[in-house]
Amino acid sequence: MLLLTRNLKRLAAVTLTAISFNWSSLQAQPPATLPAPEALKPAPAPTPVLKLQDALHFALENNPALASQRKQRGIAVARVVIAEQYPFNPVAENRIQGASGPESAGVSNNLPIEQLLLWEVETRNQKQFRKEGANATLSRTEWEIAYFEQTLAIDVLRAYTLALYRQEKLKLLEENLRINERLVEDVRRLVGLGKLRSADLILAQTEVVDTQDLVGAGRETMVAARQDLNRVLGSVDGVFQLEGRLDSQAWNWESASEGLQETALNRRADLKARQMAVAEATANTKLTIANRYGNPIVGPVMTYDPSRAFSIGLQLNVPLPFANSKKGEILQSQAEQAQAAQLLRQAEFTVKQEVIASLARLAAAQKRLEQIEKRGLPTLGQAVQDIEKLFQAGEPGVDVLKVIDVRRKLLRARDNYLDALWSVRQSLIDVAAATGEPLVEPKKPEEKKP
């Protein structure tokens, strides 16, 4: 206790010394001025950056359509529980009657009783068929949910790529606007030097006005693209910055056509759902055939008659399917089974077509992109530099109209370049959708070794 008291006193002394030191240092400094009202305002929070991977995770967790689709699994699970339960309950039948008659009838019991306990019994393995059908329904529902998730991921990829594409287009228009504004300043300076006419200045100014309208239209389309992205994300008014690039590595997918077809047949969730639909229809057909003759009803019977005689026995009711042997129901279930099998074959054929078509579009898009990269942009970029040098040097015959025309062609080429990048990205997304593998960054398929 004494040691604790000494420590507390020592701590208090050190604290008082520090307070007096700080007070003396404050007295030596000049009085601080109050900050301006603007400085008291909190700094605006930075806009969050939305990466593609984060967008996919957010959509899979918050999209309301996907959330409602996932509730279908609960219904399918309930059907499995129903299938595992026995469908019939025993029936207890009690008959109490009043008995009377002449003495010669020998009525000694005025309340004869008859009691029956009957139960319909399945004898053709119907429970197993019901369980097979219910489990197939559950698997089909889970694969349908997985396909909905794959489709949603593809929609997110498309919406994110479109928003990024519109963002890059807007940046290009804004850059062109700044270039045209600098062109106006250059033309105004040259007009002041007497090298150009006032008509050239008017032409440059009208080009700025025209570009401003294009920038406004670009902002409008970008806002629409962001709203589409919010819709697939499951967000009402999300504010974010997009992070990513449109360009991608060029690959030769044509040699991997067969491998991608096999991948699609193994990974497409809708194909798995079709397969489970065939299993479900097969189980339903077996159940319909098993129920064609009905089920017997058995149970014990006890009677206590008017003469006080007590008897007990067994009752058996057997249906006689002469009038209706369920031929129509069996034909219907068999037709549904054949239809499910045909739909599966149709889906497999469609998947192979989608893979081939997406690869063809990808090859065409990459060819166009390569042409713009190697020929269009370098040629027009050099042409703009040359025409601007001639214009600044006051070359005879090089007026503002020629400079604007060459710049427009370069702008169109850069715009076409963005279109080509977007087409390649869309084609890659088509490949991902066809193969059932919505990759964030598409990977090059492994080449077969010779």
**Are residues 147 and 193 part of one domain?**
yes
* DSSP codes, 399-428: -HHHHHHHHHHHHHHHHHHHHHHHHHHHHH
> What was the pLDDT predicted at 22?
38
- For residues 138 and 76, the answer to whether their CB atoms sit within 8 Å is yes
The model carries a pTM of: 0.76
**Are residues 150 and 109 part of one domain?**
no
> Which of 323, 345, 367 corresponds to the end of one domain?
323
**Are residues 172 and 309 part of one domain?**
no
Helices (H), 29-125: 37-40, 52-62, 64-70, 72-84
284, pLDDT greater than 90: yes
Residue 254 lies in a domain: yes
283, pLDDT greater than 50: yes
Q: How far apart are CA 433 and CA 152, in angstroms?
A: 10
Least Cα distance to 362 among 316, 422, 406, 319 occurs for 422
- For residues 117 and 303, the answer to whether their CB atoms sit within 8 Å is no
> What was the pLDDT predicted at 11?
34
250, pLDDT greater than 90: no
- The domain total for the chain is 2
Quote the mean pLDDT of the chain.
81
* DSSP codes, 152-215: HHHHHHHHHHHHHHHHHHHHHHHHHHHHHHHHHHHHHHHHHTTSS-HHHHHHHHHHHHHHHHHH
Range of the domain at 312: 88-121+292-323
For range 122-131, the mean pLDDT: 92
For range 424-442, the mean pLDDT: 79
Instruction: Look up the CATH number of the domain holding residue 170.
Output: 1.20.1600.10
Residue 450 lies in a domain: no
**Are residues 346 and 308 part of one domain?**
no
For residue 133, give every residue at least 6 positions away whose Cβ sits within 8 Å of its Cβ, in sequence order, or none.
83, 280, 283, 284, 287
Strand duo 49-50 + 241-242: pairing: parallel
Decide: helix, strand or coil at residue 303: strand
Residue 383 lies in a domain: yes
**Are residues 373 and 330 part of one domain?**
yes
Q: Which residue has the tokens 């509730």?
A: 71
Residue 34 lies in a domain: no
> Which of 301, 323, 345 corresponds to the end of one domain?
323
> Which pLDDT band, with edges at 50, 70 and 90, does 18 fall under?
very low
> What was the pLDDT predicted at 85?
92
**Are residues 275 and 148 part of one domain?**
yes
> Which pLDDT band, with edges at 50, 70 and 90, does 254 fall under?
low
Give 384 or 39, the one with higher predicted confidence: 384
- When mean pLDDT is compared across 243-257, 341-355, 434-448, the lowest value belongs to 434-448
CA 81 from chain center: how many Å?
A: 30
- When mean pLDDT is compared across 24-33, 220-229, 352-361, the lowest value belongs to 24-33
For range 193-208, the mean pLDDT: 80
**Are residues 304 and 337 part of one domain?**
no
Q: How many CB atoms lie within 10 A of CB 71?
A: 9
pLDDT in tens, 342-380: 999 999 999 999 988 988 888 888 888 888 888 888 888
> Which of 323, 338, 373 corresponds to the end of one domain?
323
Burial of 185 (0-12, 13-18, 19+ CB in 10 A): exposed
